[in-house]
Amino acid sequence: MEKSSHVLLSGRGAEEFAVENGFEKVDPKWFFTQERWNTLQKTLSEEKAKGKTGALEQTNPDYKYGTVGCVALDQQGNLAAGTSTGGMTNKRWNRLGDAPIIGAGTYASNDACAVSCTGHGEYFIRYSVAHDVWARMIYAGASLAEATDAIIHKKLVEKGGEGGLIAVDKDGNIAQPFNSEGMYRGWTKPGERKVAIFKE
């Protein structure tokens, strides 16, 4: 954001830009883990047995792993959101998920809220989930709880999407709805710190 006028870079262009700006380039072997390799091999075997290619990640939510998101409101009233994803097992080459797409998996604006999402990314992209929270608050006057609940428990469910989000609004209200079995989450505000996995 400080060295380029662009909002989003991907693939070789992003790699070259990173190297130009002093980031260390490592061999792809650096990212190898036996557990993830085993998961990929299992997925490929299942696809071969079913005579399909690239179909399992579209239908099985268990073939995505490791989203880490955060939202924050600072003392000056600034809101921020960040999302990092482990991606999908056996995704197609150069597939981009919702995490790096502003408005899909991540969104923040000081006039309303900050949002970070997790789940089946294609649904979060198609329905601009993170931005939709903001839009419902700004244009429809919904509270954070109303906006997030309508999106996660109604809109996504109707479309067949699974997942959840964490969000904080400009007044410090927190929302963490999800329509999956559980969602690892934690939050802190003055005098309060909590963690949870399942619905309370």
Note whether residue 166 is domain-resident: yes
Residue-range definition of the domain harbouring residue 167: 65-187
Q: Active-site residue numbers?
A: 67
Query: Where does the pLDDT of residue 54 fall: very low under 50, low under 70, confident under 90, or very high at 90 and above?
Result: low
Query: Where does the pLDDT of residue 55 fall: very low under 50, low under 70, confident under 90, or very high at 90 and above?
Result: very low
Which CATH number is 170's domain given? 3.60.20.30
Residue 184 vs residues 55, 93, 171, 196: alpha-carbon distances, Å = 27, 29, 24, 6
Note whether residue 162 is domain-resident: yes
| pLDDT per residue as tens digits for the range 101-119 | 899 999 999 999 999 999 8
Note whether residue 49 is domain-resident: no
Note whether residue 24 is domain-resident: no
Q: Which residue has the higher pLDDT, 92 or 194?
A: 194
Note whether residue 197 is domain-resident: no
pTM: 0.81
Quote the number of domains for the chain.
Answer: 1
Note whether residue 5 is domain-resident: no
Cα(166)–Cα(118) distance, integer angstroms: 9
User: What three-state secondary structure class fits 114?
Assistant: strand
